[in-house]
Structure formats: C-alpha cells, structure tokens
Amino acid sequence: MANIASQKKRIQRSERERRENRFRISQVRTWFRRLEQAVAAGDAGAAESEYRQLLSKIDKAVKTGALHRNAGARRKSRAARIRARLGN
C-alpha cells in the first residue's frame, strides 16, 4: 500500500480507469454477440440496428483509449463481415 498521498490518488484513479475500460470492452463484446444473434436469426432490421450500435461502441472505446485504433478498425471489419453474411 502506498504511503504518499499522490500515489494513493493514482491508485484510485488507475482502478477507476480500469473499470471504465473493462466496461467499454464488455459493451463491445456484448454488441458483437447481439449482432451475431440477429444475423443468425435472419432479421435484417435488427442486424442493421445492432451493427450501427456496435460501431458506435467501438468508436467510443477507441476514443477513450480502451481499445487501440488498429484493434478498433479490426473489430469494425469483422462486424462488417458478419453483417455481410445476411446477403448470402
């Protein structure tokens, strides 16, 4: 345990940031799952809605630093491929 006040604050801040990052990444995973389910069900309207929400969640995670820019781009690409399965 830290004795210096600034280090105690830093520990608190790190924990807060860790929770925030985990929340954002969890949201991305959840919306991926929802997109997969909508595509599997063949529901084009729901899939499009889930896809848009997923892109928003990915962009937010990248913007806040929870995901690296390239990781965000890779996940968006995967989401587009999942959505494209509806056309087949």
All structural domains of the chain, each given as residue ranges with its CATH number in brackets, are 5-87 (1.20.58.110)
Q: Indicate if the pLDDT at residue 72 is higher than 70.
A: yes
Q: Indicate if the pLDDT at residue 83 is higher than 90.
A: yes
**pLDDT value of position 1:** 81
- Binned at pLDDT 50, 70 and 90, residue 15 comes out as very high
**pLDDT value of position 88:** 59
CB neighbour burial string for 31-53, b if at least 16 within 10 angstroms, e if fewer: bbebbeebbeeeeeeebeebbee
Q: Pull the structure tokens for residue 63.
A: 């913007």
Q: Indicate if the pLDDT at residue 67 is higher than 70.
A: yes
The predicted model scores a pTM of: 0.88
